[in-house]
Chain A
Amino acid sequence: MKQVFTRPKSLKQAVFHYCPGCGHSIVHRLICEVIDEMGIRGKTMGVPPAGCAVLAYNYFDVDMLEAPHGRGCAVATGLKRVLPDRVIFSYQGDGDLAAIGTAETFHAANRGENITVFFINNAVYGMTGGQMAPTTLLGQSTTTSPPGRNALLDGHPVKMSEILSHLDGTVYIERCAVNSPARILQTKRAIRKSFTYQIEGRGFTLLEVLSHCPTNWKMTPVESCKWVEETMTRHYPLGVIKDIPGAEKEKKDK
């Protein structure tokens, strides 16, 4: 019998602690599938954040170094500069990357550190119980914006990917989602592209993934997938935001 589907080797035999319907476990699996397919498990190293994915080292079967809250890109910088031939990724949520770790992210991107960042945007602080995140949408109710996020009082949802795309150090930025099979497959392609560019030494790559959070959004998993599609993507449009190596290749092919 031919086996057509199995657990990726880079994903440990552990039960995810994530809530039912959470997007993290999908992204974890996709990253591990790509690591397996590219045959880079032995030289890939991850930096988990503080937040829902803080226990990521229990799932990824690669060497991992935990970063203090928001400092993923600084820690990854230290690893990568000492070990330039390793594939280094930082896995961060929206609070981690776009609030407390904004400076570390922005400047690692600006230095063009040759690392890959997986930026999981679920528009909420998940681990701490559903507080307002920098990416929370206007009008979105959270435990710290109960009547809905009000731009006058709470500021605006941050488009980190667009901001970072203006920096000369970034080479590839794409926004994906994991709310449908088609979107999941596109996310996997983007993960592979990020790692490929890093191995080619191109520079800073970041993949933003709109990820559903049924628990804190107080929705069913199905409703939350729909909310990503119909509401989140209106403020955070999906697609490639910047792809310098891709554009170069296209030019060459012409």
Chain B
Amino acid sequence: MNKILIQGNRVIGEAAIRAGCRFYAGYPITPQNELTEYMADNLRKAGGTFIQGESEIASVNMILGASAAGARVMTSSSSPGISLKQEGISSMAADELPGVIVNMMRGGPGLGNISPSQGDYFQATKGGGHGDYRVIVLAPASVQELADLTMDAFDLADEYRNPVMILADGMIGQMMEPVLFKTPKPRSYSEKFHLRGCGEGKSKFIRGLILDPLHEEEHNWKLHRKYKTIIAREPRHETFRTEDADFLVIAYGTAARVAKGAIKRARESGIRVGLLRPITLWPFPSDAVRSFAGKASKFLVFEMSTGQMLEDVQLALGNSEKIHFYGRPGGVVPAPVEVAKIIAQHA
């Protein structure tokens, strides 16, 4: 197989179709429109259903229905649109329906702007919608990783019968890079979870409403046990130049790419600095972060926000003066040289 040069937004569409996604609904919003457009053209050619919904709310509820019917489903949007989708995401988590939701983050709050940002970390990792639930959050830092994680997202969604979010930003969505597609795994999702009409058998229903508090409590604990399993099994991270690092930068997505450039520069001036890049934001790779507690004497959390993942790092390490933060919110992507200066300041 040959590498192809492809844009981030479009690679999600291609990886999703290869992974067997056969139902997509979405509503236009910058900076993720190329994904919606890719699905309009290519998903229909692949025999799937593409619907341009009248809103993000309608789109997420369409995938809820299609997921219950047994299709592999996806919707995508950017920050303000993801706020609208929270009702459906919460419902899918309650109903234990698999599905992939893509958030190409942009500057916020409110309408904000259309520049790359990481301001939706809290919304993505701490629930987002109402109720006691979690969504698996994957944070790619390259177009290749976007392709790989999109395929993984469908498998994880099926395995845990839970929504999975791909959390990237306008930078990764708009950028073109060479990609080699891996071979998707065959789908393993039991037909017993499908809702397709009862035939001659017993009818079933899927619902989020559980009026009896004791039953709803039981359902919440059941979901909680599932989330515990995910926390134990699924955290992923990458390390870069950490072998001798005394100084650890923690960053994800686009910020992690900037951090790599900054680390190369800082290394040239003799600073023993490395990077830990969470790939799953929920479950957060707390153990991996903690494993540096004895090795590194300084930590720098770098985010394109005012400090959201910072709280998870503080939870993992214990709040300490050793943890520094550098953030550029609102759609600003700092250059590596800027972050290298911050590293030098704290080194």
Hey, which chain A residues are within 8 Å of B59, CB to CB?
74
Interface residues of A (CB under 8 A from B): 41-45, 47-48, 50, 54-55, 57, 60-68, 71, 74-83, 86, 103-104, 106-107, 111
16 chain-A/chain-B pairs, Cβ below 8 angstroms: A42-B197, A42-B199, A43-B197, A47-B65, A61-B198, A63-B196, A63-B204, A63-B205, A65-B68, A66-B206, A68-B208, A78-B62, A79-B195, A82-B22, A82-B65, A103-B58
Hey, which chain B residues are within 8 Å of A75, CB to CB?
61-62, 64-65
Report the stretch among B49-57, B281-289, B316-324 that lies at the interface.
B49-57
B199 to A, closest residue via Cβ: A42
Closest Cβ of chain A to B33, distance in Å, is 19
Q: At the interface, yes or no: B88 with Cβ under 8 Å from chain A? A: yes
B203 and A64 form a contact (CB under 8 A): yes
Q: Give the docked Cα–Cα distance between A43 and B87 (Å).
A: 28
A62 and B55 form a contact (CB under 8 A): no
A46 to B, closest residue via Cβ: B205
Q: At the interface, yes or no: B127 with Cβ under 8 Å from chain A? A: no
Contact partner of A62 among B49, B51, B67, B198, CB < 8 A? B198
Q: At the interface, yes or no: B91 with Cβ under 8 Å from chain A? A: yes
Hey, which chain A residues are within 8 Å of B197, CB to CB?
42-45, 62-63, 83, 86
B205 and A65 form a contact (CB under 8 A): yes
Q: Give the docked Cα–Cα distance between A67 and B95 (Å).
A: 10
Give the secondary structure class of A's interface. helix
Q: Give the docked Cα–Cα distance between A44 and B53 (Å).
A: 24
Q: Give the docked Cα–Cα distance between A83 and B69 (Å).
A: 7
Given A77-B51, A78-B62, A78-B67, 15 more pairs with CB closer than 8 A: A57-B205, A61-B203, A63-B197, A65-B207, A71-B61, A71-B88, A75-B64, A78-B23, A78-B61, A78-B65, A82-B23, A82-B69, A86-B197, A104-B58, A106-B54
A77 and B65 form a contact (CB under 8 A): yes
Closest Cβ of chain B to A66, distance in Å, is 4
Q: At the interface, yes or no: B244 with Cβ under 8 Å from chain A? A: no
A74 and B65 form a contact (CB under 8 A): yes
A65 and B49 form a contact (CB under 8 A): no
Q: Give the docked Cα–Cα distance between A102 and B298 (Å).
A: 55
B51 and A81 form a contact (CB under 8 A): yes
Closest Cβ of chain A to B24, distance in Å, is 11
Interface residues of B (CB under 8 A from A): 22-23, 25, 49, 51, 53-55, 57-59, 61-71, 73, 87-88, 91, 95, 195-201, 203-209, 211
Hey, which chain A residues are within 8 Å of B195, CB to CB?
45, 63, 65, 79
A67 and B61 form a contact (CB under 8 A): yes
Give the secondary structure class of B's interface. mixed
6 closest pairs, A vs B, by CB? A78-B65, A74-B61, A57-B205, A78-B66, A66-B207, A82-B69
Contact partner of B49 among A44, A47, A82, CB < 8 A? A82
Hey, which chain B residues are within 8 Å of A76, CB to CB?
65
Q: Give the docked Cα–Cα distance between A144 and B53 (Å).
A: 33
Among B22, B51, B54, B61, the most chain A Cβ lie within 10 Å of the Cβ of B61
Hey, which chain B residues are within 8 Å of A48, CB to CB?
207
Q: Give the docked Cα–Cα distance between A207 and B63 (Å).
A: 25
Hey, which chain B residues are within 8 Å of A43, CB to CB?
197, 199
A63 and B207 form a contact (CB under 8 A): no
Contact partner of B203 among A63, A67, A81, A111, CB < 8 A? A63
Q: Give the docked Cα–Cα distance between A83 and B195 (Å).
A: 10
Hey, which chain B residues are within 8 Å of A42, CB to CB?
197-201
B66 and A79 form a contact (CB under 8 A): yes
B206 and A74 form a contact (CB under 8 A): no
Hey, which chain A residues are within 8 Å of B63, CB to CB?
78
Closest Cβ of chain B to A10, distance in Å, is 9
B67 to A, closest residue via Cβ: A78
Contact partner of A104 among B61, B207, B211, CB < 8 A? B61
B205 and A64 form a contact (CB under 8 A): yes
A104 and B54 form a contact (CB under 8 A): yes
A79 and B65 form a contact (CB under 8 A): yes
Hey, which chain A residues are within 8 Å of B199, CB to CB?
42-43
Closest Cβ of chain B to A64, distance in Å, is 4
A106 to B, closest residue via Cβ: B54
B50 to A, closest residue via Cβ: A81
Closest Cβ of chain A to B41, distance in Å, is 18
A78 and B69 form a contact (CB under 8 A): yes
A78 and B205 form a contact (CB under 8 A): no
Hey, which chain A residues are within 8 Å of B207, CB to CB?
48, 57, 64-66
Hey, which chain A residues are within 8 Å of B209, CB to CB?
50, 54-55, 66
Q: Give the docked Cα–Cα distance between A159 and B259 (Å).
A: 58
A103 to B, closest residue via Cβ: B54
A41 and B58 form a contact (CB under 8 A): no
Hey, which chain A residues are within 8 Å of B55, CB to CB?
103
Hey, which chain A residues are within 8 Å of B208, CB to CB?
66, 68
Hey, which chain A residues are within 8 Å of B200, CB to CB?
42
Q: Give the docked Cα–Cα distance between A68 and B25 (Å).
A: 17
B69 to A, closest residue via Cβ: A82
Hey, which chain B residues are within 8 Å of A65, CB to CB?
64-65, 68, 195, 205-207
Hey, which chain B residues are within 8 Å of A44, CB to CB?
197
Closest Cβ of chain A to B197, distance in Å, is 4
Hey, which chain A residues are within 8 Å of B57, CB to CB?
71, 74, 103-104
Among A41, A43, A60, A78, the most chain B Cβ lie within 10 Å of the Cβ of A78
Contact partner of B58 among A55, A71, A80, CB < 8 A? A71
